[in-house]
Amino acid sequence: MRLEVDNVVQAYRTRQVLQGISFQIEAGDIGCLIGPSGCGKTTVLRCIAGFEPVLEGQIITDDAVISGPGFTVPPEHRGIGMVFQDFALLPHLKVLENVEFGLHSLPSTARREQALATLSSMGLAGTIDVYPHELSGGQQQRVALARALAPNPKLLLMDEPFSSLDAELRHRLSIEVRELLKERGTTALMVTHDQQEAFSIADKIGVILDGRLMQWDSAYQLYHEPANRFVADFIGRGVIVSGLVEEDGIRIELGLLKGGSAILTPGTSVDVLLRPDDIVHDDDSKLTAMVCHKEFRGADILYTLCMECGDHLYALVPSHHNHNVGEHIGVRLEADHVVTFPKHGDEKHPR
């Protein structure tokens, strides 16, 4: 199923929650919405599911309009599955009965067969006769997903489905869910507050702020080519440093950045986005910076580096280069993507 959200506006009383949201998910793809708490992520899901009306714009699945001003197809007629944040499993029903619950329109034999097949595909065949509270959090999440997928929905909506799980289980399940959805060819849209989770599962990611979609793009594009300052700051780690446009690049304290200046006037002052992977630790470099803070991450260390001018930078360094706070280390600039912003604006300069 192809999903299109076209200029959707939604409000609670006088407070406008969604302000002209537009994006598309092609059939079989997985989309994800991220953003600060209260930005409108879950409201988008609720509008798509049919739980909230649309004041302006429309929501289209394949070629059918399912929501528009004064028109809403009932949730049960949309062919959409939903996985809730709290799993919403029925505690008085066993696992098999929970999955069968979403198949009430089928005859009892077909209902059981379809529920068993779905549970088996998710590695849950051995849990059919236990109650939800007897399962681990990861197993409960799989049951909730099985119940949503058993009716073979063309579109699956997931509202922070892994938020109650520990980090390692969250990461593992996100990969498993992506593989399962791709295998079934199910189109999906997920809401999460976890960027790494979004990067793991989604083909396209939307960043929302105050009910507006800041950017809808791949994880790679969001990280390396953010559409504005908010996306640059929200996605991953990065810092903004001052730069001056020259004929052959952009001059910053660390050196000359090649590229990014083709459409800019030499002599223009700009702000430049630097990511941790733009700064390389090099013992032979004459340019040094002081280690102000360090975060050990196993395979690598994220250093916060203080420059003489007062700027600070991030550098992601293999963890066998273990330096102490207060130590000066050699660094050099190695930036493949040059992203600049006007000194007093919000939009980046086109590259």
pLDDT band (50, 70, 90) for residue 307: confident
Under a CB-based contact definition with an 8 Å cutoff, are residues 287 and 330 in contact? yes
Q: CA–CA separation, 179 vs 173, rounded Å?
A: 10
Q: Which residue has the higher pLDDT, 162 or 65?
A: 65
Q: Which residue has the higher pLDDT, 207 or 248?
A: 207
Q: CA–CA separation, 26 vs 344, rounded Å?
A: 37
Find all residues with CB under 8 Å of 195, minimum gap 6, and list them: 34, 235, 236
When pLDDT is averaged across residues 324-341 and rounded to a whole number, the result is 90
pLDDT band (50, 70, 90) for residue 260: low
Whole-number percent of the chain with pLDDT over 90 = 58
Tokens at residue 240, please? 């903004």
Whole-number percent of the chain with pLDDT over 70 = 97
Under a CB-based contact definition with an 8 Å cutoff, are residues 83 and 146 in contact? no
pLDDT band (50, 70, 90) for residue 350: very low
- DSSP H or E stretch at residue 155: strand 155-159
Q: What is the pLDDT of residue 34?
A: 97
When pLDDT is averaged across residues 265-293 and rounded to a whole number, the result is 91
pLDDT digits (tens, 9 = 90+) for 115-125: 999 898 888 88
When pLDDT is averaged across residues 215-240 and rounded to a whole number, the result is 93
When pLDDT is averaged across residues 5-24 and rounded to a whole number, the result is 94
Q: What is the pLDDT of residue 351?
A: 43
